């Protein structure tokens, strides 16, 4: 990891939590439709040997700029009410606010993983991927809206169409 892309002192106060900040320059590197994965990276080019990757998984919504000069990630649960996401099962999502000094963005996803990529030119990409931070919604569920909740009853006559 070079001096351009190190976590700042304001990084996550507890492991596995946001906010997270880096002074590096990040840009949208790739989006894969099949797995709904978004990659932002601080790499300067394809041959970069030292950079930080931000991988967002199960992306449901994104509003981004192509690049950020210095980056700050923060959990923004209030944004979930502003974004219309088709979510009939009531799955939990993270709303990650992305910003630099002049621009803001938002990604709604189920997981974000931040990894440091530091390798020698003779190493393959699989040789170095220490995680800096991983935030996930695993095991959490939001309650579905009242209209989506099943109406359980032992009284068959109380069900619509019976009685």
Q: Do 27 and 67 meet the contact criterion of CB atoms below 8 Å apart?
A: yes
Q: Which residue has the tokens 């989506």?
A: 148
Residues of the chain with pLDDT under 50: 1-15, 139-156, 158-160, 162-163
Distance CA 41, CA 21 (A): 13
User: Going by C-beta distance under 8 Å and a sequence separation of 6 or more, which residues neighbour residue 43?
Assistant: 29, 51, 53, 117
| Helix, coil or strand: residue 27 | strand
At 123 the pLDDT is 59
CA angle 125, 49, 5 (to 5 degrees): 115
pLDDT in tens, 96-122: 999 999 999 999 999 999 988 776 656
At 62 the pLDDT is 95
Reported as type and span, the H/E element at residue 82 is helix 79-82
Q: Do 21 and 68 meet the contact criterion of CB atoms below 8 Å apart?
A: no
At 152 the pLDDT is 41
Beta strands per DSSP E along the chain: 20-32, 37-41, 50-57, 61-63, 67-75, 94-99, 104-109, 111-118, 131-136
pTM assigned to the model = 0.69
CA angle 86, 87, 93 (to 5 degrees): 110
């Amino acid at each position: 990891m070079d001096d351009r892309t190190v976590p700042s002192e304001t990084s996550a106060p507890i492991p596995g939590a946001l906010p997270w900040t880096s002074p590096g320059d990040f840009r949208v590197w790739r989006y894969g439709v099949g797995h709904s994965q978004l990659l932002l990276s601080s790499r300067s080019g394809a041959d970069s040997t030292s950079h930080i990757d931000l991988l967002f998984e199960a992306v449901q919504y994104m509003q981004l700029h192509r690049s950020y000069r210095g980056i700050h990630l923060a959990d923004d649960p209030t944004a979930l009410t502003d974004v219309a996401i088709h979510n009939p099962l009531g799955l939990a999502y993270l709303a990650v606010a992305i910003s630099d000094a002049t621009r803001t963005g938002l990604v709604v996803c189920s997981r974000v993983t931040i990894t440091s990529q530091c390798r020698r030119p003779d190493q393959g990409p699989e040789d170095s991927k220490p995680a800096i931070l991983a935030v996930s919604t695993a095991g959490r569920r939001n309650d579905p809206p009242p209209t989506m909740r099943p109406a359980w009853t032992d009284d068959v006559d109380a069900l619509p169409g019976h009685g």
